Structure 1
């Protein structure tokens, strides 16, 4: 993109009062941002309100500094690019959605846009099992040839990205800030790794801070890029359900992992299943719905799945059986098994160190199953 083209795009998209719908109307009529400016204010009147026409007549506040910062960012690293509607490698799946972004900032491997994608989303505060499921399913999906798309949020999103990076097909993070900053800050290292090995995407200009309305809006890109959406854990009011709804409205497959009826983090997934989402217990449940996306029609099991049947001392195995998979208190476990408290605590500690049991808030424990 030439400097003049970049300036034309940024001025159109960053002018206050000119949203995506109005910008799309102008582009449809004139063909390009440069043609919009060359046509002159008189030709805008049939497409925009008088207030919008007045806004377009002058550059947005701070425009020169923003343009200079964007040019410097693009020049700083070959991974830094912009992608506009109409580019040859603009993802077809995203193009076919109701509200495709007109310009995307990219940091990382642009070629990942051409792969088959699956969204993996869920709670920002998942259970230990939910975090394991997100990581292990995403690694298996990546090994099966699917690029995992998520939103770089805490919890399930972060675990999904980390799992996908361990597979062969990598990951795409769609963020709600400018690409010159990583949010949340706890994911700074993860964001840098994704920029090196995967791809960061944003429709927001450099310098855009983490504003609350931007995160639900970016979910349409996560859903639009993907052939399907897997919800790992979600409460009934979770933002992940927005992504699942957008995926469904776009004609994508929706998948949900069920959980305990006693856990609020399972209620969102159960609601999706009641509405027609496919119940998922293993990776093959996903691949069966998307056979064309997996070269051999079957994913290879992850390392955790391969070792899940390793032998344990009989007493540990008995304790895991008594625990089930719902959160349980120490008192309830003692009543079920009859162990002295000290012996039970020692067994739980061994299983916790081995990764088979998670210690939850409120002095609860939960068995961690292989995803």
Structure 2
């Protein structure tokens, strides 16, 4: 069993370590410093990992990675979704059961009320099959209401769907969706930042929402009240430079006021499945242009030319040519053998 893999899993799972330090580990290959409150645990892991409380969980996960029943995608490594690298708080790892390749395909995030109306259900059932037939993955959070309906609509259409969990990868939440959880693993994938069968905490849902918004090229809000958690996902998507679409409805319907507020603030009205398909494919194409690929890979700063060629689809000559153009335009800088976006100067 690889000690390096175990250490990576441990860094992602151990408590009392700042997320920024976890990201430094995956960017640099080591911890640049060890917090005092964490030092004894860190030394213990280095000297006798089998005595660490997480050892059993991590060895089980490592065995599943080796048998390919679990996929572990680490920040900065091949397979990690490129679109997430632009997040300042990008997850250091994603654990996946199912088809991890779906994470790198064009995705539409679909979110909305847990207690959704017949109108919202009809939008999911009538519109999303056409989106799936355009080879677009439906991504949501497997909550009750719109989330579950979105996953169900994708599966019924023979499409792929991604469920991002706030719980551990092996804890189905809500429990009412156990059958759906199993079907998604078979025909799409389940994704979580956390290993094991751990229930979600209240602050895990906003963290989950940032992954949904970051993975998807566009976000559709089907139905939302003014204080709906779906508006958090929409706000995150807008901050990430993604297009937000919202389904319009009567201003007399309290369940629709969140969507109407989004449209008032600049969200695009969702008028048809074609509208959704156009939005997703345009954004996905933009994200995969050579210049955009480099800027995404440089989002965290301090990246060498070799690393850029490794983490993008570009050849080394293409990387060098694109970097020269970006440097001439004042968008990147070269310092101490590494490339940085100019805002990190």
Q: TM-score range by the shorter chain?
A: 0.7 to 0.9
- 1:124–1:155: 8 Å Cα contact kept in structure 2? yes
CA distance in 2, matches of 1:115, 1:129: 29
Q: Which runs of 5 or more structure 2 residues have no equivalent in the other structure?
A: 46-50, 286-345
What's the counterpart of residue 321 of structure 2? none
What's the counterpart of residue 276 of structure 1? 266
What's the counterpart of residue 151 of structure 1? 141
TM-score for both structures, normalised by structure 2 = 0.75
**Does the residue aligned with 2:249 lie in a helix, a strand or coil?**
coil
**Does the residue aligned with 1:57 lie in a helix, a strand or coil?**
helix
What's the counterpart of residue 253 of structure 1? 243
Find the partner of 1:50 among 31, 36, 49: 36
**1:236-315 superposed matches below 5 A:** 236-292=226-282
CA distance in 2, matches of 1:187, 1:236: 26
What's the counterpart of residue 20 of structure 1? 19
CA RMSD of aligned residues (A): 2.2
Q: Which runs of 5 or more structure 1 residues have no equivalent in the other structure?
A: 37-43, 296-371
CA distance in 2, matches of 1:109, 1:188: 18
1:64-83, CA deviations, whole angstroms, 9 ceiling, x for partnerless residues?
Answer: 222233235446x6342111
**Does the residue aligned with 2:113 lie in a helix, a strand or coil?**
coil
1:75-112, CA deviations, whole angstroms, 9 ceiling, x for partnerless residues?
Answer: 6x634211111222211111222221111111001221
1:11-33, CA deviations, whole angstroms, 9 ceiling, x for partnerless residues?
Answer: 222222113212112343xx32x
What's the counterpart of residue 62 of structure 2? 71
- 1:91 and 2:81 equivalent? yes
**Does the residue aligned with 1:58 lie in a helix, a strand or coil?**
helix
Q: 1:271 to 1:74 in 2, by over 3 A?
A: same
Find the partner of 2:127 among 133, 137, 140: 137
- 1:79–1:109: 8 Å Cα contact kept in structure 2? no
1:195-222, CA deviations, whole angstroms, 9 ceiling, x for partnerless residues?
Answer: 0011111011212212221111111100
**1:330-345 superposed matches below 5 A:** none
**Does the residue aligned with 2:115 lie in a helix, a strand or coil?**
coil
TM-fit CA distance, 1:51? 2.4
- 1:172 and 2:158 equivalent? no
CA distance in 2, matches of 1:110, 1:289: 23
TM-fit CA distance, 1:54? 3.9
CA distance in 2, matches of 1:149, 1:93: 14
What's the counterpart of residue 114 of structure 2? 124
TM-fit CA distance, 1:186? 0.8
- 1:223 and 2:213 equivalent? yes
**Does the residue aligned with 1:179 lie in a helix, a strand or coil?**
coil
What's the counterpart of residue 316 of structure 1? none
- 1:146–1:293: 8 Å Cα contact kept in structure 2? no
CA distance in 2, matches of 1:181, 1:13: 18
- 1:119–1:149: 8 Å Cα contact kept in structure 2? yes
